[in-house]
Structure 1
Amino acid sequence: MIPRVPIPVVSPLLPPSRPNRAARNVLRRLVQGETPPTAPMNIVERLAGSPYANPMIQVGKADESARKTIDFALRLAETMFRYGAGALEVETSIIAVTAAFGLRNIEVDITNQSVIINYAHRDGVPITLLRVVRSWTNNYAGLVQVHELVTDIVTGGVARAEAYRRLDTIIKRPKPFPRWMVSLAEAVFAAAVVGVIGGSPFGMGVALLTILLAGQVARVLGKWRVPDFFVTAFTSFIVTMVAVVCFMVHVPLSPSMVVAGGILLLLPSGRLVSAVQDAINGFPVTASGRFLSAFLTFGAIVAGIAVALVAAAMLGGDRITVAEPIVGALPLYVILPLVALATVAICIAEQTSVRLLVPTMAVALVGYMAYYFGMQLGLGGRFAPALAAVVIGILARVIALRLGAPQLVVAVPSIIFLLVGLSIFRAMFVMTLTPGDSVTGAVGIFNALVVILAVAAGVVLGDNMARPLTRTNGHKDRRRNRRR
């Protein structure tokens, strides 16, 4: 018997299964993400959305001259802080300049009055430099020139030696307006705002003369190196004594109107808004320092007023109230010219460039119209200022960048008419000098802080909303940095 031999079954040849790479890549992206979750962000990416995005990098021996590049960046940052720039503007300028000069591995730390830059090359010795800002001055025109210098560096048209020379020229260049014109502009600003909040022509004249007198006294105290706290307190003392004298001789003026007109320039409204902007943009230390400085200024104002009221009471005068609510009653066609006049005056006081006076005035007028119609529509005293701030933030970025200036030189003078500092002053005065109304004062401070937060957030939101309108080549933000 022949044994059976099993016949092997041959299966048909099938092509081997190929992995679906597209599906695998999609699954990997869903599970893992585009980048490792712990990877640090490149500091140059902070320039995205700023006026200095996509800098032209100058190829050369950057590491050998890193010390000079960092020193120039620190001097640039110090100048910007002295002229009133915000922390975000200073940081983006440092990153843009160092990246354009070939330094990418840097870290920047900014506080209220100091800037630290660390450069750590992979195979070199780290370099860390610190610069402290010890003085401040009003010079928006110089800030515009610094902005133009940084823009030229980013586009690759200025070498470091030429940048040093141009920065020295900017620092030594005189301000656009003489001192006497600044003093007159401050007085005109106070008089115009008194008219905006409902004052009579006589009250506007009293505010004009009061600010001229207080300004000269403050200038003398400044020459004597008196701390700013006592200068502010003494100035508010003079303003209050003028109100007391007017009240004692039965001048037909509200004491609160006289004091409001006199202390408007002392109120740190712009500093408060800048502090909130720094906090929103991720600079809490700088914001805290500015908040502390602003509230010290409020304390100095309240102290000067309190001393004047006590002195008047000791001399036999009647007790007056300087924290009464002020409600403007003038028609719109009268308020708008006063807003325009006040905006131009505060621009002169801040030493703004002459070519930016009319654009800033136009932005302020549009912002005030937004505020006015917001109040007419019933948005209230919190949402109407926020709406006006958003409008100002959008227009300020579009107009300022097209004119070669940073956004804040147009935005800050345009929001002064919102008078965000006047409400905090009244609340602090009530809480400090009238203990029986301390709860009312605390509620007033809370409401004023809410309005300040709304105004600052509105300006930042408007600035971000206007970025697509000012990005001339949006696709370049996603490309690599070009090299010469």
Structure 2
Amino acid sequence: MTNNPGSRNYDDVGMIPIVAPGRPNKAARSVLRKLVQGEAPPTAPMNIVDRLAGSPYANFTIQVGKAEESARKTIDFALRLAETMFRYGAGALEVETSIIAVTAALGLRNIEVDITNQSVIINYAPRDAVPITLLRVVRSWTNNYAGLVAIHELVTDIASGGVTRDEATRRLEVIVKKPKPFPRWMVSLAEAIFAAAVVGVIGGTLLGMAVALLTILLAGQVARVLGKWRVPDFFVTAISSFIVTIVALLCFMANLALSPSVVVAGGILLMLPSGRLVSAVQDAINGFPVTAAGRFLSAFLSFGAIVSGIAVALVMSSMAGADWLEVAEPITGTRPLYLVLILVAISTVAICIAEQTAIKLLLPTMAVALAGYLAFYYGMEIGLGNRFAPAIAAVVVGILARIIALRLGAPQLVVAVPSIIFLLVGLSIFRAMFVMTLTPDDSVSGAVGIFNALIIILAVAAGVVLGDNIARPFTRSNGQKDRRRNRRR
């Protein structure tokens, strides 16, 4: 059958009309594919450079042509940098981001970083080449927040592409050999002033503040002598807490008008690993469980040493005929808000000096601590409770610490940690451990107290991390620069 032009086509057999197939709708197919299939394979590993997202080093500059020929030297420098940061008190996340930023800026992309409580491993495995794996163990620690600030500035300069590896190595050596900003005698005096100010914050009298100051001076000198003799830190802490308790007992036996529990609390607060506990929780939140576990164990060993020293002093005084003192009783003393703010400011500056903070950060850190304490105070006033109010204060500290620290060229840690000491997160755990260990009849209440203290510590650490994340959009130096891809020189 012949079809006329313009007529419909028919099948020769069944006279069934034949319809031409329509064009595929590409837009509809694309939308359908996105609904049922992800844009990236779900099992693809994350690029290690993606760990820099949200960090101060997110926009690094790659120095092309300088990687393969000196990969070993670059890895050695990165390990030396990481070891120094750990020695000075940096957190695991800060160390990891610094390593990634430095190695990426110097041209090493195929690396893996593994960080534990006291070791750093870097594996460099380029294609069609022999891999390199190097390990560095951190065997000593020291207080040097000023050194952390200098290292932060160095890593920032490397990431911006303005420093070569050889120059960076020389600058790191200068940082390591540079003296700390405050002499030893000033650190000892600052530790004693911190203890005295804390006694005033928790309700102690002027006499109690003076006794705490003299006690910490004595305990500090004994601790330094024991340190020169290479005595383990556990026994140094135990002996120091023993000295603090003996002094409080002697004052009580002399009928001085002061509370032994306040004197002991002020004396041991400097020994309490409050910052280590918060750092451990932060490491766990940031994805470093091994490092967090190590820091938790170290912190609880310190608590055990403090309880041991106090227990020995109490037993010795009881054998000598003195009355058994309740040094872990709750402290209910109050002070006017203006006076507490003054004492918080003094104690914050004192702990900054003890931690060897850079001089330019003393006043900003004090301001952050005062803002955090006001948030804590008014949170308690409106009835948030002793669990939620510290968390709110920690969020405020985390936000302000990141904004101020990065504006001044420093990591958030050096401002945040001294600013949360006023929350006294370690004192509650000490009291709970003391009750559970030395008063068997109240062991259940001691266990409940430890649980409540851990909840508060978790809330404080999570609040600092949350504040740090909230402040990230406000700490971008240049919006266009952040939206730009990693550029090459």
- Is the shorter-chain TM-score for this pair beyond 0.5, marking a shared fold? yes
Aligned partner letter, 2:488: R
Question: Is 2:282–2:462's contact at 8 Å kept on the other side of the alignment?
Answer: yes
Partners in 1 of 2:420 and 2:333 — Cα distance? 17
Residue 141 (structure 2) aligns with: 136
Q: Deviations over 1:185-226 (max 9, x none)?
A: 000000001100111111100000000000000000000000
Q: Deviations over 1:273-319 (max 9, x none)?
A: 00000000000000000000000000000000000001111111111
Q: Secondary structure at the match of 1:329?
A: coil
Within a 5 Å distance, the mapping from 1:37-436 to structure 2 comes to 37-436=42-441
Q: Secondary structure at the match of 2:112?
A: strand
Aligned partner letter, 1:392: V
Aligned partner letter, 2:39: E
Q: Secondary structure at the match of 1:324?
A: coil
Q: Secondary structure at the match of 1:398?
A: helix
Q: Secondary structure at the match of 1:97?
A: helix
CA shift, 1:471, in A, is 1.6
Aligned partner letter, 1:27: L
CA shift, 1:374, in A, is 0.1
Partners in 2 of 1:332 and 1:45 — Cα distance? 45
Question: Is 2:187–2:354's contact at 8 Å kept on the other side of the alignment?
Answer: yes
Partners in 2 of 1:205 and 1:182 — Cα distance? 18
Q: Secondary structure at the match of 1:128?
A: strand
Aligned: 1:439 with 2:436: no
Residue 3 (structure 1) aligns with: none
CA shift, 1:437, in A, is 0.2
Q: Deviations over 1:12-49 (max 9, x none)?
A: 79875222222222211221111000101100011010
Partners in 2 of 1:447 and 1:58 — Cα distance? 51
CA shift, 1:249, in A, is 1.1
Aligned partner letter, 1:369: L
Q: Deviations over 1:408-462 (max 9, x none)?
A: 1000000000000000000000000000000000000000000000000000000
Aligned: 1:11 with 2:14: no
Aligned partner letter, 1:415: I
CA shift, 1:480, in A, is 2.7
Instruction: State the percentage of identical aligned residues.
Output: 81
Partners in 1 of 2:66 and 2:342 — Cα distance? 57
Q: Deviations over 1:326-385 (max 9, x none)?
A: 123101011000000000000000000000000000000000000000000000000000
Partners in 2 of 1:447 and 1:369 — Cα distance? 23
Partners in 1 of 2:402 and 2:333 — Cα distance? 30
Question: Is 1:48–1:477's contact at 8 Å kept on the other side of the alignment?
Answer: no
Q: Secondary structure at the match of 1:104?
A: coil
Q: Secondary structure at the match of 2:64?
A: coil
Aligned partner letter, 2:135: L
Partners in 1 of 2:33 and 2:63 — Cα distance? 38
Partners in 1 of 2:423 and 2:252 — Cα distance? 28
CA shift, 1:472, in A, is 2.6
Partners in 1 of 2:187 and 2:66 — Cα distance? 47
Q: Secondary structure at the match of 1:130?
A: strand
Partners in 1 of 2:154 and 2:37 — Cα distance? 43
Question: Is 2:476–2:482's contact at 8 Å kept on the other side of the alignment?
Answer: no
CA shift, 1:477, in A, is 4.2
Q: Secondary structure at the match of 2:73?
A: helix
Partners in 1 of 2:333 and 2:367 — Cα distance? 22
Alignment root-mean-square deviation, CA: 1.2
Q: TM-score, normalised by structure 1?
A: 0.97
Q: Secondary structure at the match of 2:312?
A: helix
Please list every run of 5 or more consecutive structure 1 residues that lacks an aligned counterpart in the other structure.
1-5
Partners in 2 of 1:30 and 1:116 — Cα distance? 41
The number of aligned residues is: 479
Q: Secondary structure at the match of 2:75?
A: helix
Aligned: 1:29 with 2:34: yes
Question: Is 1:346–1:413's contact at 8 Å kept on the other side of the alignment?
Answer: yes
Q: Secondary structure at the match of 1:234?
A: helix
Aligned partner letter, 1:172: K
Partners in 2 of 1:31 and 1:441 — Cα distance? 54
Please list every run of 5 or more consecutive structure 2 residues that lacks an aligned counterpart in the other structure.
10-17
Q: Which segment drifts farther, 466-475 or 420-429?
A: 466-475
Partners in 2 of 1:328 and 1:270 — Cα distance? 25
1:261–1:61 Cα change, 3 Å: closer
Q: Secondary structure at the match of 1:138?
A: coil
Q: Which segment drifts farther, 28-37 or 13-22?
A: 13-22
Q: Deviations over 1:154-176 (max 9, x none)?
A: 00000000000000000000000
CA shift, 1:255, in A, is 1.0
Partners in 2 of 1:448 and 1:423 — Cα distance? 6
Partners in 1 of 2:28 and 2:484 — Cα distance? 27
Residue 14 (structure 2) aligns with: none
CA shift, 1:11, in A, is 2.4
CA shift, 1:322, in A, is 0.3
Aligned partner letter, 2:8: S
Question: Is 1:386–1:457's contact at 8 Å kept on the other side of the alignment?
Answer: yes
